[in-house]
A and B are shown apart, each in its own frame.
Chain A
Amino acid sequence: MRGWVIALLVSSALGACASTMEQTEGMDPSAVPSEEQADYAVFAQRCSKCHSLARPLNSGITDDGFWRLYVEKMKRQPSSGITENDKAPILRFLHWYSGLKARSDTKVDTKVDGGT
């Protein structure tokens, strides 16, 4: 019984800590320009099916050629649901986001993987 009470207290404390730092794994919609919103919606819908959006957004990749190969690879993942027509909006968003990151980061040398 004592263990259970401790567990509830600890989990409540962890939950409280998390809520004070909360943020979503995707983009803040208000930070995405209106002309990018539709592309972001496709990216967020498709790329969150199997993994967190944090994987591509935290990757630091700025190379369009790399993204083309990688989106193609993700399209081939089983049950990804990424169609041929989804690729263009996803790549447009990643191009825009890469530019945003490149301007804000001075050192970008890591790449991302789906982690499956």
Chain B
Amino acid sequence: MTRAHVFFVATLLLALLAALSAGSARALDRTFAGSVQLGENVAPMEPSTNSGTQSFYGFTAELSGKIAVDLSEHVSANVKICYGCHGFETDMAYFDLRLNDELNVRVGRFSPSFGAFNLRHDPANHKLADKPLPYDMGRMLRMRDWNLGVLPSPFPDNGVEVDGAHWFGDTAELEYAAYAVSGFKAGQGSLDLDFVQSHSGSLYYVDNNNLPAGGGRVAMTVKFAPTVDLTFGASGMYGTYDPQNKFTYGIFGGDMWLRAGRTNVRAEWLMRRQTFDTSDQSALKYTVSPTGGDFFVKHGAYVELEQPLGGGVDGIVRVDGLLRLGNIAAASPLSNQATVLRYTVGTSIVIARGVRLKLSPELYQFNYTDANGRNLEVCLQTAVAGAF
């Protein structure tokens, strides 16, 4: 029996304990919520066709509907269905079995606790039209070169999570999470994670190997004043992604979120270290070093300031980037030290309560040129997002 199996059995026992201790149920409560975002990425320097595209620059729609059912004070269920570029996807389908604030067991399909951004991944909950580069899932320019971000968000997976939080008076809160999930996937001989296969039903929503991935998160929120609080956290996950369980990925991150009044300052760093198959030298761009040549490291980070400007207008300034170190597919335009930096100045304007217009010009600075010899590119991300 592996440690993952022990973890699974232990969490099931905890879940059973929580269910048996469920208090008297109030009347069954059902809630429904949803959001819609229509986006348009205007990228005038990109090719005029989406065939073999490096970015989605036409209209894109993201919509979601979520129902939450509170069966009792200790048991609840959530189901959230999303529609985006990938079609329909089950973003959430799980039970929460809560013994108390310090001990909750989540069972089903969910995004495991990692980092700070994923909590706000719904387009109605973040004020720019696109996500930070470490979490990008298809809005960035030259996304095929980079195979998206470090950890494209959201990242729903099947599994079980134990989490909880404890307040120390009114000044500090410690939260934790530990989980086992199926993990990311890729085919035999793949040089990187296959995020389409990881989230697609085309190859079944089951693990491609028999070893779960595991991870966890610890975060602390400190309140310095009634309107000033600071959260900092650390996250990590580890697993294998190929059918033979030979190749591994480890994703680690640190995050900070300062909120003073309505001003938000956020910073986050992620790093993915991944081993890959080096048996076919011809598939790789660089000669494989006999020591340490079988892995690459992909870093991603962002710093973001979000400031209300009055009259329902928010200003957002963000700097984010990716750094990829290591060998890569022979046909890739990236080098073994590839970078992209992005500078964004955006605004989010309330059109009506619950509906926002988002506008953000972006400047990309790559350390390699495209077919037209460019290493600088600009685009304008626009979107209208509403929540209900």
Using a CB–CB cutoff of 8 Å, the interface residues on chain A facing chain B are: 1-4, 6-8, 10-11, 14-15, 17-19, 21-25, 42, 45, 48-52, 54-55, 57-58, 65-66, 69-70, 73, 76-79, 81, 83-85, 110-116
Contact = CB atoms under 8 A, between A and B. Distances in A.
A84 B353 contact: no
Interface stretch (B283-291, B295-303, B323-331, B380-388): B380-388
A52 B387 contact: yes
Contact of A15 (B120, B125, B170, B349): B349
B125 A78 contact: no
Contacts of A15: 347, 349, 357, 359
A78 to B, nearest CB: 5
B65 to A, nearest CB: 10
Interface in B242-264: 257, 259, 261-262
Contact of A79 (B64, B221, B312, B387): B221
A7 to B, nearest CB: 4
A48 B262 contact: yes
B63 to A, nearest CB: 12
10 contacts: A4-B42, A24-B312, A45-B226, A51-B124, A52-B124, A55-B387, A76-B101, A78-B113, A84-B170, A114-B33
B68 interface: yes
Contacts of A2: 44
Contacts, number: 148
B387 A69 contact: no
Nearest to B259: A49
A113 B65 CA distance: 10
Contacts of A51: 124-125, 387
Interface string B50-66: 00000000000000101
B31 A19 contact: no
Given A23-B350, A54-B353, A79-B119, A84 B167 contact: yes
A16 B353 CA distance: 17
Contact of B353 (A19, A25, A45): A25
